[in-house]
Amino acid sequence: MSRYSRPPNTSLYVRNVPDGTRPDEMRSLFGKYGPIVDVYIPLDHFTRLPRGFAYVQFEDVRDAEDAMYGLDRSRFYGRELEIQFAEGDRKTPSQMRAKERRDSPPSRRHGHGGRYDDRDRRDRRRSRSPYERERRRSRSRSPYYSSSSRRSRSRSNERRRSGGGSGTSRRRKSYSRSRSRSRSPRARGREPSPRSRSPSPQYRSRSHTPRSRSRSPEAH
């Protein structure tokens, strides 16, 4: 969220996270050391699978430190977690994309300098690669990302009444009556602009069509 809200680094970089680990669990595990701001498990953009590491952002750096020292090299689902302080900021999709492009495996590169190899390939090869397959399979939002804060606060939109509704019915009546009787002088909101007061189309046409004049006499 706030990129600027990064005092030092309250985020921990957790490596060697078992597959299927949910942010929930991470939160639970790390939450013992302090309030967790956010837990994020980066997923592969294509496969939508966890990449094997996670980020746990604490509220307080001390807690983060504590957690780091407490959970580092600890066993989690039979795996040893490797924790260290996060360094880089979360990359924005564009950056990631650029990176991906740059980091593209040269093995498939034709050397031609393909502009849109990916697209072409995807179109051509159909979705033969597991990437595409997976991607198609779970195209919806990843179930992994989870933000502790900023939850769906859409509790309910009840009470949609806005504005002081005092004497609404009365007003309505008045309006109705008014409408029946005579419209307001300014009721119409969409009145041609004053500038639109151009000469009659006829006149304009005539004026602009010299031929018309010649032809006019022959009209009738």
Rule CB under 7 A: which residues touch DNA? Answer: 1, 3, 9, 11, 13, 15, 38, 40, 42-45, 51-53, 55, 57, 84-93, 96-97, 99-100, 142, 145, 147, 150
Min separation Cβ 138 and DNA, Å: 11
User: To the nearest whole angstrom, how small is the minimum distance from the Cβ of residue 35 to DNA?
Assistant: 15
* Residues 6 or more apart whose Cβ sits within 8 Å of residue 184: 178
Closer residue to DNA in complex, CB, 90/121: 90
Instruction: Please identify which residue in the block is written with the tokens 């502790």.
Output: 148
Q: The tokens 């000469």 sit on which residue?
A: 199
Backbone phi, psi, residue 38, to 5°: -160, 145
Residues in the chain: 220
CB atoms within 10 A of CB 142: 16
Cβ closest to DNA, residue 145 vs residue 203: 145
Backbone torsions φ then ψ of 108, nearest 5 degrees: -95, 0
Q: Of 51, 56, 66, which Cα lies nearest the Cα of 20?
A: 51
Between residues 44 and 70, which has the closer beta carbon with respect to DNA?
44
CB of 124 to DNA, least distance (A): 20
Cβ distance to DNA smaller for residue 110 or 150: 150
Rounded Cα gap, residues 30 and 216, in angstroms? 91
Q: Which is nearer to DNA, 94 or 193 (CB)?
A: 94
Residues 79 and 18: beta-carbon distance below 8 Å:
yes
Provide, rounded to whole angstroms, the least separation between the CB of residue 12 and DNA. 7
Cα separation, 132 vs 23, whole angstroms = 25
Query: In terms of CB distance, is 94 or 196 closer to DNA?
Result: 94
Q: How far is the CB of 94 from DNA (least distance, A)?
A: 8
Q: Rounded to the nearest whole angstrom, what is the least distance from the CB of residue 21 to DNA in the complex?
A: 12
